[in-house]
Chain A
Amino acid sequence: MKKFIKWIFSGWMLILFFAGFFLFWEYSIPLFDIPRYILPAPSEIVLKGSADLDKLIYYTGVTALETVLGYIIALILGLGFGIAISFSSILRRTLYPFFVSIEMTPKIAFAPLFISWFGFGLMPKVIIVVLVCFFPIVLNAILAFNSLSNELTLFYQSTGASRLKTFFTIRLPAALPQCFVGFKYAAINATVGATIAEFIGSDKGLGFYISIVTGNMRPDLAFAGIFFLTCLGLSVFGFVTMMEKILIPWHISMKRINK
């Protein structure tokens, strides 16, 4: 409780900023005579959005499922490939340059193709989320597992420990901070991927909702959808950040944030 009060207190500037932002938004609508089909006031968004709450919650669940499922699959694949490429010189000369060149392609461009191949269901969305999350994870994992200091490498060699033992006692923990750079980047990408996939072809989900209500000249509902999407994105990102704090509390970037 004390901690919470301290947190609120230390965050007062941010709270003030947000309050100011929404107040400005609320009162600039009548002030500048902005038509409500262009930009609705926050109060209207809350009012109209709450009337549509059931649908919004259901669609949030749909999008969340696509996001989380895709993210987890990307995490498993990305880490797996990342480790394999780091430890195999053959893969490093074949798969790695291949991944780097694909990284340059905007993955979202594949979305219409996947929809046409796999239909309107869950699978194409999950595939698209996997695609946008996989590359930051795999590329950062490769970087992470290849950047062990020369001294530590020589040190563990001088102990005669097995490769498996050194992997779990030294290489893996040493790689985690850089891996999390990829995990966090992917967490941001995940909701973006799911939303765009829904824009292109779906019959449910927040992306679908936003594109439909925008078509019906209801920006108030679109903003309500965006609000739920933001909450979803924040939850995914927050969860990954929390895992980072739990798994690598010793890392220097964590210490700086806590201070």
Chain B
Amino acid sequence: MKNFIEVTELKKVFGKGKDEVHAFGPATININTGEFVSILGPSGCGKSTLMLMVAGLLDSTSGKVEFESKLVKGPKTDIGIMFQDNTLVPWRTVKGNIELQLELRGFNLKDYQEQIYNILKSVNLEDFAERFPNELSGGMQQRAAFCQAMIHDPKIILLDEPLGKLDAMTREKIRADFQKLWMVKKPTVIFVTHSIEEAVQLSSRVILITPRPGKIDREIKIDLPYPRDLKVKRSTKFIEYVNSIQEVFHKYGVI
């Protein structure tokens, strides 16, 4: 059976001649429908580059990306995307920002009012629908951004270190929110991160990327039950996963 997402010998080189920077690859990755895959690697290893190439938002130097056997050329539009710096615009309220996703896609806003309320409720933001982003804390902004990325029910969610700028407690809370939504809607998630714990807690599979130029060191299937709450995080198995990944990066001199 063909995989949902197939990345074949994908490579990216920025610049030309003397200024040439080999940023990523070549790497081959297969992802199934509904998987939560983390791309884990040190900063500068090209993991964000990989994500953008998968989304068709950045051209690759060589290799190809296929979704359901269809070659990706140019930006893919059936995705939801989220970055470390959120994509909320300051002139719209939280609700308006979620509607922005729908408006740009030409959807009828009336059909979505209930869904907007529900998704805001699922991340405890229902009372902040009419607030502007700069009235919210960093963590609340990221939760609002998550609603913005999810409202159109994309089959694929791309998360580029969405929790990178948040404090430890807020991260913990939002991880739980992500997990809850993923378990309900089961989209395919590609999650770029440099936090080992975060990757192990959330993903069904972790792909370890070497320092630049990023190549795949190995893939680790995380065989832990969902939802992965504090109890799971304290289990020996969880700690073993974290330790084994730490050893890999230790070998590279990253940690």
Contacts and interface: CB of A to CB of B under 8 A. Distances in A.
Given A154-B57, A166-B104, A251 B90 contact: yes
A159 B101 contact: yes
A144 interface: no
B90 A252 contact: yes
Interface in B82-124: 83, 85-87, 89-91, 100-101, 103-106
Main secondary structure, interface of A, reads: helix
A156 B101 CA distance: 8
Interface stretch (B62-70, B71-79, B203-211): B71-79
B86 A250 contact: no
A243 to B, nearest CB: 15
Given A152-B87, A250-B91, A158 B76 contact: yes
A165 B87 contact: no
A161 B104 contact: yes
Interface string A157-200: 11111000110011001100000000000000000000000000
B87 A151 contact: yes
A159 B81 CA distance: 10
Contacts of B53: none
Contact of B83 (A151, A174, A251, A252): A151
B248 interface: no
B128 to A, nearest CB: 16
Residue picked from A151, A158, A170, A251, most chain B C-beta under 10 Å: A158
A114 to B, nearest CB: 40
By size class, the interface of chain A is 20 to 34
A155 interface: yes
A248 interface: yes
B165 to A, nearest CB: 12
B129 interface: no
A155 B81 contact: yes
B55 interface: yes
A151 B159 CA distance: 12
A174 B100 CA distance: 14
Given A154-B57, A169-B103, A160 B89 contact: no
Interface of B: 52, 55, 57, 75-77, 79-81, 83, 85-87, 89-91, 100-101, 103-106, 132, 134
6 contacts: A152-B89, A157-B75, A160-B105, A161-B106, A173-B89, A252-B134
Interface of A: 149, 151-152, 154-161, 165-166, 169-170, 173-174, 248, 250-252, 255
Which 7 interchain pairs have the tightest Cβ spacing?
A160-B77, A159-B104, A161-B104, A155-B87, A250-B91, A157-B75, A151-B83
